[in-house]
Structure 1
Amino acid sequence: MTAPVLTSIVPGAGPLHSSACFVRFYLPMKFQASPPTPLPELNLKPYTCDSHYTAVRKFSGFARDSNIVQEAQKLATRLSRSPWANSTSEESRSTYSIAQYNSPFRLIGCVNEVWVDVNASGLLFDSFY
């Protein structure tokens, strides 16, 4: 398995305007020049990510629907109080993404992140906590 496994949430893209999601797996550099061919019945599509800026909030434990939404809200609140307020990227296909770095069989010490793409052109960079 690769890390992180990135699940992006797209509100209103599912049936009856429900949320939909898509999952992306990182392909290590040694396979990027000649990626393995997936089985056709899996309906997998390659995705190439251009350089961009992402706001990130790290959290521990299992990534569950209940705490994912809470962590996404905490990141949104934090962004609203920062120089990046109102700078979420309009080019993003999703509202937010969840990056999971550990095997689902790991019981303690799990590391997860909530990601939100931001449009950082013209902003000065500094981290905030």
Structure 2
Amino acid sequence: MEAALMRIFKLSFLLSLFSGDSDVFGSRTLSDLASGPVGKFPPSCNRIECPSYDLVNSTNAYEIRRYNTSVWMSTEPMKETSLVKATRTGFSQLFDYIQGNNDYHQKIEMTAPVIVQVSPSNGPLCESNFTLSFYVPKQNQLNPAPAKNLHVQRWDTRYVAVKQFGGYVSDNSVGEEAAELEASLNGTVWGKAIAKSRETGGVGSTSAYMVAQYNSPFEFFGRVNEIWLPFQMDK
């Protein structure tokens, strides 16, 4: 019984990553109430493993973090016009993966965040490429279990500009939040480093931004989501 309840909890957690537009509740009212102030440290990282980082700089508009090396299991890019729909499509692959549908038949602990990489596409109807990634726990990073239609991303140490926002992620909110982060970085050393990384094909050059999500759908208040802009700094 305990194992079954844990599986249901894990499923509900991952479902939150693409619940979008408050579909879980069928109303924008609760989502709006849930989008109040959020803390600088995602509360879920007190309960489950998250990638470690050093805080380099912090303002009212953004944080600059330096993430240590990490390993992520990622879906193949999906062409879509909707981040929410693309994330729903990729969800079953990652959920099956941590439940043991991998070459090692290995069950893997839940972590946070799950990130969605948003990259421009030349397709019709303003499509983008979306890649969903699960943070691999440290105990599995030396030899992450392979799986069909998934691939490993190994991150070197990298910088990330971060903007937090609350509520449930929707297609409308992520674009607005990403634009606000970009605007707040204009004229800063961080904004210049992001622009240079994009121009030179460095870290973050292939994506417009990333969306990181941390919460269970049943955490109505104090929800934490983040926009990430990864980049390199000259040594």
Q: Fold match, TM over 0.5?
A: yes
Radius of gyration: which is bigger? 2
- Once the two structures are TM-superposed, the CA of residue 77 in structure 1 deviates from its matched residue by 0.5
Distance in 1 between residues matched to 2:155 and 2:191, nearest whole Å: 24
Aligned equivalents of 2:234, 2:150: Cα separation in 1: 32
Kindly, what percent of the aligned residue pairs are identical?
Answer: 35
Give, in whole Å, the separation in 1 of the partners of 2:120 and 2:217. 25
Q: What does 1:1-129 align with in structure 2 at a 5 Å threshold?
A: 1-12=110-121, 15-16=123-124, 18-38=127-147, 40=148, 43-88=149-194, 89-90=197-198, 91=202, 92=204, 93-121=206-234
- Give unpaired runs (5+ residues) of structure 2: 1-109
- Equivalent residue of 2:115, what SS? strand
Shift of 1:109: 1.9
Aligned to 1:125: none
Distance in 2, matches of 1:86 and 1:76, equals: 11
CA distance in structure 1 between the aligned counterparts of 2:136 and 2:121, rounded to whole angstroms: 28
| 1:95 positional shift | 1.3
In structure 2, what is the Cα distance between the partners aligned to 1:26 and 1:85? 26
What secondary structure sits across from 2:161 in the alignment? strand
Tell me the distance in 1 between the aligned counterparts of 2:225 and 2:130. Answer: 17
Point out where structure 1 has 5 or more consecutive residues left out of the alignment: 123-129
Kindly tell me the number of residue pairs found equivalent between the two proteins.
118
Q: Matched residues in 1 for 2:217 and 2:211: separation?
A: 14
TM-score (norm 2): 0.46
Deviations 1:90-124 (CA, angstroms, capped at 9, x unpaired):
222211001101123432221111000123226xx
Considering fraction of residues, name the structure with more helix. Answer: 2
- The verdict on how the C-alpha distance between 1:34 and 1:70 changes in structure 2, with shifts beyond 3 A counting, is same
Counterpart of 1:126 in structure 2 is none
Distance 2:141 2:191 in 1: 35
